[in-house]
Amino acid sequence: MAEMEKVAFVSNLNGTTLTEVSLGSFLAPLCLLSRGLVLLVLHLNKVVLPLSSSAHLLLDFTLLIAPLVLSCTVLSDILHWVIIAIAVTDVCAVSILYSKKSKKHTGNRSMIDSFEHSHVESKVVPFLTAFRVLVNVKTAISILAVDFSVFPRRYAKTETYGTGVMDFGVGAYVMANAMVCPEARGKKVQGSKLSYLAKQLFSVWPLVVLGFARLASVKSTGYHEHVTEYGLHWNFFFTLAIVRVVASAILAIFPVSASWLLSLLISGAYQAVLETTDLKSFLTQNSERRSFVEANKEGIFSVVGYIAVYMAGVQVGVYLMKTRTQVKDWIRVIRNLLLGSFGLWVALHACQMHIEPVSRRMANLPFCLWTIAQSLFFLSCLGIADIALLFAKMVSNFSAVSTSWNPSRRSDTERKIRNKLDALCLIQSVNRNQLLFFLLANVMTGLTNVLVDTLKSNDFFAVCVLLSYMFMNSLIIFILHVNDFTIKFW
């Protein structure tokens, strides 16, 4: 009976507005900026960096993880005020640093000009790393939080149509993987295309194993499952594996530069099939699930939409991975990401007006447009925060803040401090073992549901459980990183 109640608790939901989902894109970048500014303030006040490992873990957890937990629970109804408060604080901090520097500088305009023309190390794209990690972190929070009443029902996955925060999460996870795939990073096919495809097929075995492990654990424990999400036997691990293999096969035939066109063609053709055949009614009607295809229709057919999202992610990754050395070049990139996001929002509005609303269940064309548009917007926000932090670092004459751009000219002392801070950074910890973090979150979610009656928990207890759960996940992944331990599945 309890399991049926939990299924009912996450079923038949309609999501929230596009605006509210977009609003959440401001919080994580502001928190990331706040964390960098705190480190700068500590340095300027003669605090020796790095701090102890436990101090850095607590600092990162307090400034990066805890706000994300609170924002989707007790602070969800006043999220706009939280964002404004953090934004004002960050702007004031950067302004104070700028004003102190400008007094020693001849002409404010020349300082801005020198910043725009300054050079940065171009080996990594910090805001892309942050995007991947934060999507993973938000996913980890949501998969447990959704089982508590403190988590707003409008944030949960929608039944058939609608835009829930968790609906965006699954699409963003696919985008995050695509943007750093071998094709996006410019790795060329070694040997024949057939051997390359065989290698890609083998590389997804961890996802397949995890998919079967989750299936076995769910069926053996009677853990509640929302059937209309993926089906009776399907789960997100299977979707990730198939999307990766199919996308690799497509990109072995077509040039990577055509990824955006392939994304459009796949999503457009899929929508045309939905509109002109009985497929849409087959996917949306809760009919008997006798055959394997009927039992897992949502998971099987939504793969097409996720492949389209993945292909778009590859194109974004190719664009971001291009070598750029000047700040002004990255400002132009962020501008283009915003313009691309705006264009996709317009296309989404037209689709919702004239075709149909967003449907994560089908992964239709509007869902693909929404996922890509929202991902580009989130990337843009992270990029703007990174530019602001880089500016603060330059006016402070201290560049050793992890998960952010480095000026190309740094002293050996700052380089050593930066390496030490990287080794004590929670963002870098999750980035190092992303699949393990995702797996750990799934296991901990299952254990928590076994030990805690989530439906009857009051808000205070629920938030305490969520913070404890995220701290345990963070602690385990942090310990592995501090000890220079990377878990590779292949």
* Beta-carbon count within 10 A of 197 CB: 16
**Cβ–Cβ < 8 Å for 114, 326:** no
pLDDT(110) > 90: no
**Cβ–Cβ < 8 Å for 417, 50:** yes
DSSP 256: G
Confidence grade of residue 139 (pLDDT, cut at 50, 70, 90): very high
DSSP 142: H
DSSP 362: T
Q: Give me the chain's average pLDDT, please.
A: 89
**Cβ–Cβ < 8 Å for 309, 174:** yes
Q: What is the mean pLDDT of residues 251-278?
A: 94
Instruction: Encode pLDDT of 438-452 as tens digits.
Output: 999 999 998 998 898
Which residues face 187 on adjacent strands? Answer: none
Instruction: Encode pLDDT of 326-336 as tens digits.
Output: 889 999 999 99
* Beta-carbon count within 10 A of 352 CB: 17
Q: What is the mean pLDDT of residues 3-27?
A: 81
H helices of 355-433, in order, are 365-396, 412-422, 426-432
**Cβ–Cβ < 8 Å for 47, 476:** no
**pTM tops 0.85, yes or no:** yes
pLDDT(40) > 80: yes
Q: What is the mean pLDDT of residues 210-234?
A: 81
The predicted pLDDT at position 102 comes to: 56
Q: CA separation (Å) from 480 to 327, 365, 403, 424, 438?
A: 34, 40, 18, 11, 15
Confidence grade of residue 84 (pLDDT, cut at 50, 70, 90): very high
pLDDT(385) > 90: yes
Domain ranges of the chain: 2-407+427-482
H helices of 146-258, in order, are 165-178, 193-203, 205-221, 227-230, 236-253
pLDDT(409) > 70: no
Which residues face 119 on adjacent strands? Answer: 326
pLDDT(489) > 70: no
Q: What is the mean pLDDT of residues 338-360?
A: 95
Instruction: Encode pLDDT of 299-319 as tens digits.
Output: 999 999 999 999 999 999 999
**Cβ–Cβ < 8 Å for 27, 68:** yes
**Cβ–Cβ < 8 Å for 130, 427:** yes
Provide the token pair at 59.
């600092």
* Beta-carbon count within 10 A of 358 CB: 28
∠ CA 336-340-342, rounded to 5°: 115
Percent of the chain whose predicted confidence (pLDDT) is above 70: 92
Taken in order 17, 361, 154, 308, is the CA torsion positive or negative?
Answer: negative
pLDDT(366) > 90: yes
The predicted pLDDT at position 201 comes to: 80
DSSP 182: T
Return phi, psi of residue 15, to 5°: 80, -165
* Beta-carbon count within 10 A of 196 CB: 18
The predicted pLDDT at position 47 comes to: 85
The predicted pLDDT at position 312 comes to: 97
SS3 119: strand
The residue among 351, 254, 384, 371 whose CA lies nearest residue 308 is 371
Beta-carbon contacts of 174 under 8 Å, excluding residues fewer than 6 positions away, are 240, 243, 306, 309, 310, 313, 371
The residue among 221, 226, 165, 177 whose CA lies nearest residue 203 is 177
Which residue in this structure is represented by tokens 């089908």? Answer: 362
SS3 425: coil
Confidence grade of residue 80 (pLDDT, cut at 50, 70, 90): very high
